Structure 1
Amino acid sequence: MWYWLFKYVFLGPVLWVLGRPTVEGTENIPAEGGAILASNHQAVLDSFFLPMRVSRRITFLAKSEYFTGTGVKGAFQRWFFSVAGQVPIDRTGADAAQDALNAGLRVLSQGQLLGIYPEGTRSPDGRLYKGKTGLARMALESGVKVIPVAMIGTAKVNPIGSRLWRPAKVTVRIGEPIDFSRFEGMGGNRFVERAVTDEVMYKLMKLSGQEYVDIYAATLKKAATTGSAPTAVPEAALAPATDVTRMPDTRAS
């Protein structure tokens, strides 16, 4: 009940006024059954604008820091993100990747919609960064389809580091579901997982119009704090995965 009150009564009207959101492709969301909504990540509000115009509940995997604050502010954050349909994931522990995978698979096994951000963190500069293969592991183990979602304009409403939201036009583009059944039984193969992830990122690049950078956003953020300079692979390295034996990327993710 709290989720729907939150969506339609509390936050929804505020976001509607601020973002005047246009949603394209809602027909690509299945009426029932599990599916992965894989989105680019521009702002914290991405997790709130998308559910506004989707009739089904969407569960997002969120960093545990949103749920561990103290005092009144911490209590409010825990309530806020819980009723918004977010599940906490500890990204710092030795088993962080497996914990996230297990949490996502639980949601999908219940026939629900799972929202994830393949980049793993918000884009630091508006570009689209290399996707992490946890997305592929979930898709291959669950057998569900992956629906690419492009969030456009949310960074203007909720810029990184800003305390106040600002009015700006938001567009949500929902792409056609991607069926990876051709890779059935190949879960755990790092080349297949990279191929699946890169295909999703290619679709996101086309939907969003973002420039693609073939490094992890987290790597860039870390380099910014250490003064090192990460090397990006040209955009041409990203292509739809139709034949895994022809994929140019042979690095472990």
Structure 2
Amino acid sequence: MGGRRSGHRAGGERAFLVRIVTRQALDRLRALDRRKEAYVGPWLPEPLLTAPDVAEDVELAESVSMAMLLVLETLSPTERAVFVLRDVFDLDYDEIAEGVGKCQAAVRQIAHRARAHVAARRPHGIASPAETRAALQAFQREVETGELQGLLDVLAPDVVALSDGGGVRHALLRPVVGIGDVARLLAAGWWRRDAERSVEPVQINGGPGLLVHVDGEIDGVVAVRVEGGYVTGAYHVRNTEKLSHVERETAVTR
């Protein structure tokens, strides 16, 4: 009897915690969505400086990558919560239903819809570590030199460049898409050239990236998406409010 009571009590505590945490997360996501409506220019997730071993766990690295986080941003707050609770944390539908305040049937439909949405938009063609290193080194070299032909050789035809300054720092006001436009943008000096600048290869959100210092201070981060040996995405974060987690590594585990 005591074991059953303690088990029931533990189950009740777990359900309570799931409900409270989920509802707080939903409130935060909805507030963030309202903030993004007035955001200046493209909005990018806050970058994390991660340890090299995160990239070795392909599934974990993809789940926290900048590209994947951008896919999740296209979901509604409820869809995001259901998808993460079910597909990442593997919670039962009844627990999720209580957490989001919907019936199990509705949660199953939301999970199916969110899963299909993510599957259709998630990045494909995971690059090997050697391909990733080679592509990042070439990208860094060509960006620093501004060599147009070199950039054309390393960028994918449908490459996308996004820059987030949030109205605080100078940045692109809209995405740039396509190898020609992105290569010309980089060759023309997307990065500041009027100060003492250094670029350091790092791991950002479990993937390749560049940490940019200007006059000894962190000026921004570029998360780089590599597929098939080519750079398919460059996500440049300069908003100072989003750079607090690139000064030291953030632990990321399953």
TM range (shorter): under 0.3
Q: Which has the larger radius of gyration?
A: 2
How does the TM-score come out when normalised to structure 2?
0.27
How does the TM-score come out when normalised to structure 1?
0.27
